[in-house]
Structure 1
Amino acid sequence: MKIVIANYRYFIAGGPERYMFKFMEAAEKRGIEVIPFSVHNPQNERTQYIKYFAKPRSDRLMYADTEMSIGNVIGMLRAVIWNYDAERRLRRLIQDTKPDAVYILHEINHLSPSVIRAAKKEGVRVVHRISDFFMLCPKYDFLCGDEICEACIHGDYRKAIKNRCVKNSKIGTLLRVLAMKLYKKVKVFDEVNCFVCTCNFSKSKLIEGGIEEKRIECIPTFINADRIKPCYKNKK
C-alpha cells in the first residue's frame, strides 16, 4: 500500500508534526510506503519528493513576521482561499507515484482544500484528520475572547466578522469567511471519503455541522506507552 501524507510543514514545529512523523514511522514498519507533500521551507526534513512541494505563501513562516509586499499579499490570498499551485503539484505527485490514498493533516491557510480536489481529480481516496474546528469556526477553536462560542457552526459568520475573530483583523476575518463560503459552495469537503477525529466530542461537532456520521471515524492519537514511567507518590 502507498499513501501521500499532506501537511503544511515537513519539520517538527509542534504536536501535529510529531504525530505526522510518528505516523510515517509506524506505517512504514507495517510495509506501507508514505510519501510526503508539503510546502517549501528551509527547515524541512530531507526527502526525495521535495521537488513536488508547493510554493510558500510568503517569505516568512509566521503570519506576524510577514511584510505586506505585493508578492506576499498574492501568496497569502492564494494560500488562504484556493492554492492552485498546490493543486497542480499534488496532481503531478499522484500521477508519478500512484498512491492508494491521500491522508491530509493540515492544509488550511497554506495548501488549502485545493489538495482535496487534486486527489479526487486523480481518482484517489481522501482521508482527512481533524484536530481543530477549522471547518466550522473561522478562528478554529470555538472561542470568542475568553468565552465559548459556536455562533458560526451552521454557517452564519456575522458574529465572527463583528468581533474580528481572526487575529483581531477585519480583513483577515473577512478573507477567512470568504474562503469558508467558497468551500461550501464548491462542496470540496463532500469529496473527503473519511474524516478522522481524535475524540468523540470533535465527532459530535462535525455531525452537528452537517457531516454525515458514516463518513467519520474516531481514532484517538496514539502514543508510545513504553516511554511513559508512572511517578507514584505516597500519600500521608
Structure 2
Amino acid sequence: MKILLANKFYYRRGGDCIYTLNLEQLLKAHGHEVAVYSMQYPDNHPSEWSGYWPSNMRKQDVLFRPFGVLQVKKGFSRLLNDFKPDVVHLNNVHTQLSPVIAEIAHQRGVKVVWTLHDYKLLCPRYDCLQNGLSACEACFNDKKAVLEHACMKNSKAASIIAYLEAKKWNRERIEKAADMFICPSQFIADKMVQGGFDQSKLKVICNFIDIEKCKRASYTKDNYYCFIGRLSHEKGVRTLIDAANRLPYILNVIGDGPLMEELRAIARPNIVFVGFKQWDQIKDLVGKAKFSVIPSEWYENNPLSVIEAQCLGTPVLGARIGGIPELIEENKTGMTFESRNVEDLMEKIQAMWNVAWDYKTLAHQAQECYNAERYYQELMKIY
C-alpha cells in the first residue's frame, strides 16, 4: 500500500511530530511505501520528499497560509501526481499547510484519514483554553466566541484570523473531505460528537510508542518522584510546585518553558529543576523515579508522557482531565487527582509514595498494551 503522511513539522517537536515519525517507520517496516508532506523548517529531518514542501512560514504568511495558498496546493498536487497514494493520512496540518490538502486528496478520489492530536477542529485556539487559562467549549457551537474573548494569543487581530480560518474550514467542509478521524482518546471522540461531527467517522485508537526504547535491565527506583513536560500554565506545574513545597519528598522537574524562572523563585530546595533532556537521560530519570506526576489543567488528549512512563515501569499520578484518566488504572498503574486541587494532589503524592508498586509487571503490561504491532493491526482495518 502507498501512504502519504502529512504533518506541518518533520522533527521531534511535539507529540504529533513524534507520532508521524514513528508511524512512518512502522509502515515502512511492514513493507508499505510511504511519502511525507510537510513544511520546510531548519530542524526538519532529511527527506527525499522535501522538494515538494512549501517554504517556512514568514510573518506575512500568517494572513494567507491558514486558508490554503497556491504554493501548498501546487506542491501537494505534484506529490499526489508523482507518488499516487492509496491513503493520505493527515496529522497537524492547520495554518502552515491547511485542510486544503484534504480537499485536494478527496477530489482525486484518495481516501483521507486524519489523526486528531488536539481540538483544532472544534476550537480555533486548538486547546479549549479561554485566554490560555480556563477550560472553555464555547466555540464548539459558535466560533464567534474566539472574537469575544480574544483567545488567540490574547490578540484581537490573531483572533480574527483564527475565526475566519474556522469559518472557512467548518465542520461540514472538513467532514466531507475526510473519510475517517482517528481519536487517540475516547474523550476527544466524545468532544467531536458534542461539536456535531458524525460519530460513524470517529475511531478511537490509543497512541503507540517504540517500546524497545523503554525496556530496562532493572526496575529499581531512587528516592524521588518526577514531572516531565513543558513548564507552562496549562501543564499545571505551578499547582504541582505548590503541593511539592509542602511535602518532604524530592521532586525532579524535567523540561523547560516560560515559567522556569518564576517556578525556580518559589520552589523549596527539595525541588530540583534538571532542564530539558534528550531521551537517554529522560529514560534514566523517569525510569528511576518512584512515580511521575501529570498535573495538567487542559484537555490532554492522549499524552505520551503517561504512556512512556508506564512503559518504563513508572506509575503515574495524573489529573482527572481530558484523556488522562483513560490511561490510568487506579492503584495498579497509578492514581488520579482533581485537576487544580492542591490539597488532593498532596494527599495523592503521599499515597503514591507509600504504595509498594510492582514496577516490573507494570512495565511489561504497558509495553504489551502500547506496542506498535497492536496499533498497526487497528490502523490497517481503517486503511
- TM class, shorter-length: 0.7 to 0.9
Single out whichever of 185-194 and 82-91 deviates more from structure 2: 185-194
CA drift of 1:20 comes to: 1.2
1:147 equivalenced with 2:134 (yes/no): yes
Aligned partners of 2:11 and 2:43 also within 8 Å: yes
CA offsets per residue over residues 56-104 of structure 1, 9 Å max, x none?
Answer: 221xxxxxxxxxxxxx31x222222223321221111011111101101
In structure 2, runs of 5+ residues without a counterpart are 215-310, 316-352, 357-383
1:95 equivalenced with 2:178 (yes/no): no
Name the amino acid aligned to 1:9: F
CA offsets per residue over residues 97-125 of structure 1, 9 Å max, x none?
Answer: 11101101111110011111121222211
2:187 aligns to what SS in structure 1?
helix
Name the amino acid aligned to 2:76: L
1:190 aligns to what SS in structure 2?
helix
CA drift of 1:193 comes to: 0.4
Paired residues for 1:1-236 under 5 Å: 1-58=1-58, 72-73=59-60, 75-145=61-131, 146-154=133-141, 156-184=142-170, 187-226=173-212, 227=214, 228-230=311-313
User: RCO greater where, 1 or 2, for CA within 8 Å and sep 6 or more?
Assistant: 1
In structure 1, runs of 5+ residues without a counterpart are 59-71
1:131 aligns to what SS in structure 2?
coil
Distance 1:125 1:231, change over 3 A: closer
Aligned partners of 2:122 and 2:139 also within 8 Å: yes
What's the TM-score, normalizing by structure 1?
0.87
Query: Percent of aligned pairs with the same residue?
Result: 28
Distance 1:235 1:95, change over 3 A: closer
After the TM superposition, list the runs of 4 or more consecutive aligned residues in structure 1 that deviate by more than 4 angstroms: 231-236
What's the TM-score, normalizing by structure 2?
0.55
Rounded Cα–Cα distance in structure 1 between residues aligned with 2:115 and 2:55: 23
Aligned residues: 221
Rounded Cα–Cα distance in structure 2 between residues aligned with 1:24 and 1:170: 38
Which structure has the larger Rg?
A: 2
CA drift of 1:186 comes to: 7.4
CA offsets per residue over residues 131-162 of structure 1, 9 Å max, x none?
Answer: 111011111111114322111101x1333212
Aligned partners of 1:200 and 1:218 also within 8 Å: yes
Aligned partners of 1:9 and 1:44 also within 8 Å: yes
